[in-house]
Amino acid sequence: MGRDSEWLDWAALILLAAVWVGIWGPWIPNPAVALTQNALDLAEWATFLTDVRYGGLRLMPELLRLGVALAGVALAVAAGAIERWPLRWVIRLAAVIPGMVMLPPYPFLLNPIGSGYEWRMAAALVLWAGVGLTLFSDQLGWKGQRWLIVAVSGLAVVSGWWAYLAIQGPFGAHYSHALHPGWGLIVFGLGLVAAAGLAVYEMLGSAADLSR
């Protein structure tokens, strides 16, 4: 499966790079730029909703941030397919950028415990630690890397979409029109599913070749 495997690796990497772009694209679109929300804006502004502050949706912004963090980790794992290490780590450094945005503000960054920013800090650390641990995932066999992409991508899409669907209604009460998924959310979800699907397809194809 030499050439086919290499092509599938690059296809999965491109899909996950598109997912990274989708993080910054509109999840809630609006003609007014100030009312357009990307994933991290949505997580931030959702914390001001009554249903989040005082209701049962308190952890939904953090679940959304966790989905973003896991998507970045999936991209970093997929970058292991790049043989040239400088390019591989340029992509991985780009993957951690959302983690910088997710960090709590100063001075809570230095001591987040008891500040209300604990889970936000945890989501950022998932991304930073996950990218760092790709030093070890690079040592896994190709099958281990594919399973890792499937697992992390699956968790990312479930976390991201679950949080979005939970806060869409309360958030939409503050808009004068019905909210529809923006292209950022669509690219985020479909890209993760497609990347996981390619990894599964590659493993099944390899298993079929070995059984012949």
Residues 179-192, mean pLDDT to the nearest whole number: 94
Phi–psi pair at 12, nearest 5 degrees: -65, -40
d(CA 90, CA 93) in angstroms, rounded, equals 5
Got the DSSP string for 121-179? Answer: HHHHHHHHHHHHTHHHHTTS-HHHHHHHHHHHHHHHHHHHHHHHHHHHHHHHTTSSS--
Which letter does DSSP use for residue 79 in this model? Answer: G
pLDDT band at 186 (very low <50, low <70, confident <90, very high): very high
* More confident site: 178 or 61: 61
Spatial neighbors of 157 by CB under 8 A, at least 6 apart, are: 67, 188, 189, 192, 193, 196
**What radius of gyration do the chain's Cα atoms show?**
18
Q: What sign for the dihedral angle of Cα 128, 81, 141, 70?
A: positive
What's the pLDDT at 209?
53
- Token digits of residue 55: 């209701």
Ramachandran area for residue 137 (φ above 0: left; ψ -120 to 50: alpha; else beta): alpha
Average pLDDT, the chain: 88
Q: Identify the burial level of 62 via C-beta atoms within 10 angstroms of its C-beta, where 0-12 means exposed, 13-18 middle and 19 or more buried.
A: buried
Amino acid at 9: D
Spatial neighbors of 109 by CB under 8 A, at least 6 apart, are: 103, 121
pLDDT band at 139 (very low <50, low <70, confident <90, very high): confident
Worst-scoring range by mean pLDDT, 43-47, 63-67, 207-211? 207-211
Cα-based distances in Å from 39 to 61, 96, 160:
10, 15, 9
Domain map (residue ranges) of the chain: 2-211
List pLDDT tens digits, range 112-122. 777 778 888 99
